[in-house]
Amino acid sequence: MYVNNRGTVFGGAAAVAQILRNSRVSLLGKIIDAPAVLPLSEKVYRFVARNRSRIPVRGYCNT
């Protein structure tokens, strides 16, 4: 979930897109949020969310 400064709430891939739009990679956020791409972005987001425990992260210590 992401809430912008106007109080609008975003979830899923739309939240990721909004966060990226406010970063140095804003073009990537605009691409993810494009109407033609957003359905695919949502599928990728759900896949990553379901499998996040299986994704190796460098420097992460599971104690």
Residue 61 reports pLDDT greater than 90: no
Q: How confident is the model at residue 63 (pLDDT cuts 50, 70, 90)?
A: low
- The tens digit of pLDDT for each residue in 4-56 reads 999 999 999 999 999 999 899 999 999 999 999 999 999 999 999 999 888 77
pLDDT at site 56: 78
Among candidate residues 35, 28, 47, the one with its CA nearest the CA of residue 18 = 28
Nearest to 13 by CA among 58, 53, 35, 57: 35
Specify the pTM.
0.76
